[in-house]
Structure 1
Amino acid sequence: MSLDIKMPAEWEPHAFCFMAWAVHREWGADVANVKQELREVISTVAEYEPVRLLVPPDLIDEARHQNFGSNVEIIPAPVDDIWMRDILPTFALRDGAPIAIDWNFNGWGSSPLRLARPGDRLAGLLASTLGIPTVAASFIAEAGSMVTDGRGTVVTTKSCLLSPNRNPSFGRTDRQRMDAIEQNLLHFGVRRTIWLEGDATEAITNGHADGYVLFTNPGKLLVEGIDPTEQRPNRCRESDVNLLHTVVDEQNRPLHVKTILPPRQRYLRFTQRTFAPCYLNGYVANGAVITGRFGDSERDQAAERSLQQAFPTREIRMLRLDHIAAGGGGVHCLTKEMPKPAPN
């Protein structure tokens, strides 16, 4: 593998965005509500950049009847889930040309809450369809487990990448496993890996970094803090926020960290374990940041102000996504950008 691979920051220009119209039957009685919310996300992303919508053959007619418009291209594909952030490869650039990084996705460790399925192994197939090379990592991960500044710094979590259902054989100790993963990340242009504790109790993902950390510029990030009204605060989150205030990026610069607060429990529509009301799990599209709002008007507005300050040249679009969030994800989880190739 070449060391000139670059994983761009998400605010860098996109050629298009992959999404999927494939709401699995596991959603049960909420299928219609999830589709309604998904349609709004797809339509909103398409206002700012082309969307290539992956659709299983039996749902092609249904997808066409959504009347998404000319900026949404419907593509038949053997996809059976909507979480494109993790199921698809990460699209990066090598010598300015796109490649696909295969993180060996295994269904988030194939946990009892979400067993691995045939439609999870799309990295090689999609890369082949696009006619771009695939580069495989030597460890198991998901793109949502890592956030990058596009300049060689990655933030990830121990709770996810060191979980026994992903990478049990990289060494006897956490440090050995971390060192092995860091060495492999060097092949993808990562020179500094910042390890947060994460949240091993988080349903399905075991604590993805993209649920509470968002780079907004090199050296600058937003992090979701702890609600001061919580009776039992998340001590791992408190530790992670404190750590981010003390570490440096690949350029040896201290990180500029701004904290936002989550929506308060009393305003949330759902309370199940998988519900993920995350402001920072948003998609940085060409010209917009698209994320969720959750009915806590004070916190929703505060998050909007923080995002607008961080991305002053982009519109902030906040959508009501309660049913999608009940499945454990947000707008970022639904999307996967293709970076624009570098000019010759």
Structure 2
Amino acid sequence: MNEHTAGRHAHRGLNRRGFLVTVGATAVGAALATTLPERAGAAAGAFRVPVEDVRHTRTWMAWPDSTSIWGGRLSGVQADIALIARTIAKYEPVVMCANSGSAAKARQMCGATVTVISSVPVDDCWMRDTGPVFRTDGHGGLDAVGLNFNGWGDKQTHARDALVAKRIASYVGVPFTRADLVGEGGAIEQDGAGTLMATRSSLVNRNRNPGVSERQLETAMCEAYGASKVIWFDGVRGQDITDDHVDATSRFLAPGEALVQMPVAADTDAFARDARRQYSTLTASTTATGRAMDVMRLQGPDYNKIRSTNRDFLASYANFYLCNGAVISARFGDRRADEAARTTLQRLYPDRYVEQLDIDRLGTGGGGIHCVTQQQPAA
């Protein structure tokens, strides 16, 4: 699951798929406990997680099939996942992980351009959070790190998803280590040159890392990502299932360059206030090398003008996905804002084609395109 972001409606309950089923923490926690003893601490060495605009070998995705999670929304979410997969497959290979009982449907809906495998079973579709974080060493080496996914703090079932990162690494045939923290890929943004950004609300949280200090988390994050500095935002705690992931509000474009999705002036809820604070924090920050941050604004839509009327809807242009030759983003029905976002992304990535997709069913689940994808960078 994933996301959060700037400019959402006020008066939310448990957002970011707040309608999803919470599974008993005892059973789920036991599933995670079987994997945690394998953790060996991800020694960075020469390996680091590159910025996301590097060339990819493939994109990894996951096929949702749980009516206990999605209820009557499942078919619509599957249609959105298939649309995203088919669109990315025009630019680079896509591998969809599906359970054996739903692999045939995934193949039928995704089409021949998407590879569907059933050897990596999944609980849900949020590959950004469950998949491996791939690292490169600049000399042809590739490995993978697992972030010990625990269902966003035991908020959703994850017995299968807790094993996805390791199983994909095995499928690819690369070394795999476990980070010394519990978290999700959507919780951490990297510039590929030593700087990370993340929200305290998601990671410095007893539902992921009880008894672990912010300083200790910084060390673990930097070891895992091959970085040396973390830019922290306070975030929003307890109002969405992710506890406010960073990747629907702030993104790195390049070393020293970032983008923040800004809410419209009338939006004053917790997420809108947090987005403004993230922008302020970034403009006052420096990179790991001491360079002042160059921070761009990406204007978010007016929630009164988008198609969805669901109060938990995620309308994040910033939750875009970079693939070889393209930027895959969303549009929400605020035509002026949709076109302005397309223009901004085209200006930022002039050598890539900008694709805007209608993914309202996924957005109603509180997620976006970046949330359901995980890149495997070319070594």
Partner of 2:307, secondary structure, is coil
Hey, what does 2:254 align to over in structure 1? 217
| Residues 176-203 of structure 1: CA deviation (Å, up to 9, x unaligned) | x121011123323111110011221441
Distance 1:247 1:231, change over 3 A: closer
Match of 1:186 among 222, 233, 251: 222
AA partner of residue 163 (structure 2): R
* Aligned with 1:110 (options 154, 157, 170): 154
Q: Which amino acid aligns with 2:86?
A: S
User: For 2:236, which of 192, 199, 203 is the aligned residue?
Assistant: 199
Stretch of structure 1 that moved more, 100-109 or 196-205: 196-205
TM-score (norm 1): 0.92
Q: Using the alignment, how far apart are the partners of 1:292 and 1:192 within structure 2? A: 31
Q: Which runs of 5+ in 2 are unaligned?
A: 1-42
CA contact (8 A) 2:327 2:354 kept: yes
Distance in 2 (alpha carbons) for counterparts of 1:255 and 1:281: 20
1:242–1:297: structure 2 CA closer, same or farther, 3 Å change rule? same
- Tell me the distance in 2 between the aligned counterparts of 1:139 and 1:273: 32
**Matched-pair contact (CA < 8 Å) for 1:157–1:195:** yes
Deviations 1:283-327 (A, max 9, x none): 100101101100001111111111111111001111011110111
8 A contact 1:23–1:34 mirrored in 2: no
Identity %: 33
Answer yes or no: is the 8 Å Cα contact 1:221–1:256 preserved in 2. yes
User: What letter is aligned with 1:159?
Assistant: S
**What are the superposed Cα offsets for residues 207-246 of structure 1, whole Å, 9 maximum, x if unpaired?**
1010111212221111011311225573332222111111
**Residue 254 (structure 1) aligns with:** 292
CA contact (8 A) 2:260 2:275 kept: no
Contact 1:290 1:331 in 2 (8 A): yes
Which ranges in structure 1 are unaligned for 5 or more consecutive residues?
Answer: 171-176
Determine the structure 1 residue equivalent to 2:321. Answer: 283
Of 107, 114, 117 in structure 2, the residue corresponding to residue 72 of structure 1 is: 114
Match of 1:309 among 341, 347, 352: 347
Shift of 1:67: 5.7
- Cα contact 1:3–1:186 (8 A) shared by 2: no
Q: Do 2:202 and 2:244's aligned partners in 1 also have CA atoms closer than 8 Å?
A: yes
State the match for 1:49 in structure 2.
92
How far has the Cα of 1:38 moved from its partner? 1.5
**What amino acid maps onto 1:285 in structure 2?**
C
Distance 2:234 2:309 in 1: 24
Tell whether the 8 Å contact from 1:203 to 1:273 is kept in structure 2 after alignment: no
Aligned-CA RMSD value: 1.6
**SS, match of residue 266 in structure 1:** coil
Q: How many correspondences in the alignment?
A: 332
Distance 1:258 1:90 in 2: 26
Contact kept, 8 Å, 1:282 with 1:331, in 2: the verdict is: yes
1:136 and 2:172 aligned: no
Structure 1 residues 14 and 157 mapped into 2: Cα distance closer, same or farther (>3 Å)? Answer: same
CA–CA distance in structure 1, aligned partners of residues 110 and 245 of structure 2: 33
Deviation of 1:272 after TM superposition, in Å, equals 4.0
Contact 2:250 2:278 in 1 (8 A): no
Q: 1:34, CA displacement in angstroms?
A: 1.4
Match of 1:156 in 2: 198
User: Which amino acid in 2 is paired with 1:169?
Assistant: G
C-alpha spacing 1:19/1:116, structure 2 compared with 1 (3 Å) = closer
Aligned match of 1:34: 77
Mapping 1:159-170, distance limit 5 Å: 159-170=201-212
Query: 2:331 matched to which residue of 1?
Result: 293
Cα distance change, pair 241–53 in 1 and its aligned pair in 2 (3 A): same
> Are residue 268 (structure 1) and residue 306 (structure 2) matched?
yes
SS at match of 2:71: helix
